[in-house]
Amino acid sequence: MERDVRELASAWSTYQRHAFHSPSPALAPWVERYWEARWDYAEPYRQKIVPYPNVHLSFGGGRADVNGVSSGYQVKVLEGRGQVFGVAFRPGGFRPFLGASVSTITDHVVPATEVFGPDLPTTLDVPAVEAFLLKHLPDDDTRVREAVAAVELIAEDKAVTRVERLAGELGLSTRGIQRLFAEYVGIGPKWVIRRYRLHEVTERMAAGGTIDWAALAADLGYADQGHFIRDFKSMFGEPPAWYAQRY
């Protein structure tokens, strides 16, 4: 199949610009970062978006939405000039704002006013959105801290490749960690582990050099290369060797 050359060899950087901003210390327990994206395409471009376990509050196209965690990759068509601004909440940090299990919005997009009320700013402006969130800081919740710490452990410890290992590290039962993730993260711990271990694959791709796929699959805890390739394709929408061409 012929590929769009604009997605190869990091050519996207010619057409897109991205920026990231840190939240204030007061918001940091719940908010991971602010982000901005701008694009300019003369012809429509199919942008592949791979998932992370973050809930996003996004502003663009004259509307504001809450985007629940996506269980798989998405494709958005970008055309002309456009921009979007967003708030990426820490995995586990959106539960107090939602007031319900985060799994209820997984794979869903909800009008932001349904969560934050009609006074939510509609501007693509970091200070305005931060000021609004600071006025609506939730009460402290020890379960938020537990969920955030659990996801951080997965991200930082490459040895965590099984839910049982994660539960043991946190002093919880397997069922207990599953309940915590469903309520606060919005998706299961097995999915989150798989996502962060596969992220290590894209880091190796970006670094360049030859990759021994069979050895890498074993390092990531897969029984064989076939299972690794199937997982990668379901998460990223294409096999790893095909995806590597994007770099």
CA angle at 155 for the pair 153 and 157, rounded to the nearest 5°: 60
pLDDT at 24: 96
| pTM reported for the whole predicted model | 0.93
Question: Pick from 52, 63, 119, 118: which is nearest to 89 by CA?
Answer: 52
Report d(CA 139, CA 177) in Å as an integer: 22
pLDDT at 115: 96
pLDDT over 70 at 51, yes or no: yes
Report d(CA 12, CA 6) in Å as an integer: 6
Percent of the chain with pLDDT over 70: 100
Question: Pick from 112, 178, 167, 134: which is nearest to 29 by CA?
Answer: 134
pLDDT at 21: 96
- When pLDDT is averaged across residues 62-83 and rounded to a whole number, the result is 95
Beta strand spans in the chain (E) = 16-21, 31-49, 56-60, 63-67, 74-89, 109-111
118-121, long-range: CB < 8 A, 24+ apart? 120/64, 121/59, 121/64
pLDDT digits (tens, 9 = 90+) for 88-123: 999 999 999 999 999 999 999 999 999 999 999 877
pLDDT at 172: 95
Which domains, from first to last, does the chain contain?
5-135 (no CATH), 142-244 (1.10.10.60)
pLDDT digits (tens, 9 = 90+) for 125-178: 899 999 999 999 999 999 999 999 999 999 999 999 999 999 999 999 999 999
pLDDT digits (tens, 9 = 90+) for 182-235: 999 999 999 999 999 999 888 888 887 788 888 888 888 888 899 999 999 999
**CA torsion angle 147 93 160 209 (round to 10):** 180
Mean pLDDT, all residues of the chain: 93
pLDDT at 1: 59
pLDDT over 70 at 62, yes or no: yes
Report d(CA 224, CA 221) in Å as an integer: 9
pLDDT over 90 at 33, yes or no: yes
pLDDT at 203: 87
